[in-house]
Structure formats: C-alpha cells, structure tokens
Amino acid sequence: MKTVLITGRSSGYGLETARHFHAMGWNVIATMRNPREGIRPKSDRIRLLPLDVTSPESITAAIGAAGPIDVLVNNAGIGMLGALEATSMAKTREIFETNTFGVIAMTQAVIPHFRARRSGAIVNVTSSATLAPFPLVSVYTASKAAIEGFTGSLALELRHFNVHAKLVEPGYGPTTRFAQNTDVKFEDVIPQPYQSFANPIFAAFAERPAVFTTEADVADGVWRAANDTSDQLRFPAGPDAVALVN
C-alpha cells in the first residue's frame, strides 16, 4: 500500500486531496502547522503530523516521523492580493518563505530517500496565475512562478533515478480560503490611488464565474500527477486552468 505526505492539509485543496488519496486506498500523512482533530475521516490509514515548512527543525521532525513515503505533495501556501507598491518587503519575504523556499526545503528533504529507492514522485501545487498575467497578485505569482522553473529543472535531474517531479496548476477557486490565510488587510495593500483600478477587480472576484476550479478538480489533478510515469510536467486543474493552457 502506497503512502502520500501532503503539506497544508487543514483546508481547501490539501484537505480534499487527502480525502481523495484515502478513498483510493492509500495511506495518508496529513500535515499542518497546528494539527487538530475532527477534520479528517476516522481511519487507521490517516496520520496527522505537525509541520511548519519554514522551519528546518520541523521539516526534519516530520520527515522522520512519517517514515517511508511514495509521494510528496507540496500544497502548503499563502495567498496574497495587493498592489506591489503597498506590499512590504517583509511580507514579500514571508510569502516566499512558505510558497517557494518551503517547497524547495521539503523537496530536498525527501530526495535522498526517493533516490536510494529509485522511485517516488514530488507534486508541487502552483497556480494558474503562472499561466497568464493577473492583476494585484504580483508577489504571489512570483513565488509560484519560481516553483514552476524549479520543478521543470528538477524533473530532468531526478529522472535519472526514476523519480518524478510534477506541477499541478489550479485555476481560480472561489470556494477556497486563498486570501484568508494571510494577516494582510485589503485596505492596507490597496492605497487610495489604486482603488479605482482595484474595485472592479474585487467586484469580479466576488461574483462566482461560470467556469472555475473546485477542490475536487485539484485533488484529481494531484492524483493524476502523482501516478503519472511519463515525461508530462504540467497538470492544469480545473476547466478555467485548462482553457488558459489551450
């Protein structure tokens, strides 16, 4: 029976991905900064571990406690909306610590085990913001675009060891907590000169579009990526992301 370790499993894509792998008969190691019971199916095939992807000590402890795994899903991330002019460098670095450096650190931690076994897969969840430019998400997009380049290069060097690196690119998910997992208030990152530009954009975000991405779309994309042994790198998830690619 195979085992998957999923980061950022407390809600949204991570939670649905954990449920999907469990339903498909896998062992699931679900991680989050502050584990809490009551959000997972009761099963001896699901384990909950604490993990802060920005802490080397936390990563080492989680990987050690997890034991052998077959797939790492780097899903943990922080959303960010706002004008670049009003986004502090401290906040920018915080976004990159989780969305970029956290992914790299987790990946680096599992590679020795996968390489030694000559099997395994690393699935990095990015965003459709890397597929086409969107306004007011420049820092977030940069943090995810870095992982796109990182994963493409990594896939080539790991292929020699029969280890796969894949990208899952979700579209717009109005039912997720994209902008709720950051402590930045919209009014702080949309200064007055930008309000006439930003207001129609936020109004459009508030209205659910006809085509969008659900948590189930992403879980399916991660599942397909995790089990794919071809050279396919990118797996757009959700009909809007697929439309952008096409």
Q: What is the pLDDT of residues 64-110, one digit of tens each?
A: 999 999 999 999 999 999 999 999 999 999 999 999 999 999 999 99
**What was the pLDDT predicted at 229?**
95
**What was the pLDDT predicted at 11?**
63
Q: For residues 9, 12, 18 and 22, what is the CA-based torsion angle, rounded to 10 degrees?
A: 150
- Model confidence at 61: pLDDT above 80: yes
The yes-or-no answer on residue 140 being catalytic is yes
- Report how far residue 7's alpha carbon sits from residue 58's, in angstroms, rounded to the nearest whole number: 12
Residue spans per domain, the chain: 3-245
**What was the pLDDT predicted at 76?**
93
Q: For residues 78, 84, 86 and 88, what is the CA-based torsion angle, rounded to 10 degrees?
A: 60
- Model confidence at 179: pLDDT above 70: no
Q: Which of 2-6, 60-64, 113-117, 205-209 has the lowest mean pLDDT?
A: 205-209
- Model confidence at 181: pLDDT above 60: no
CA nearest 245: which of 152, 159, 130, 95?
A: 130
Residue predicted with more confidence, 34 or 143: 143
Residue predicted with more confidence, 163 or 44: 163
**What was the pLDDT predicted at 178?**
58
The single residue of 13, 140, 172, 194 carrying the catalytic annotation is 140
**What was the pLDDT predicted at 145?**
98
CATH superfamily entry for domain 3-245: NAD(P)-binding Rossmann-like Domain (3.40.50.720)
pTM metric for this prediction: 0.92
The three-point CA angle 221-104-8 to 5° equals 50
**What was the pLDDT predicted at 38?**
58
Contact 164, 155 (CB under 8 A): yes
| Average pLDDT taken over every residue of the chain | 91
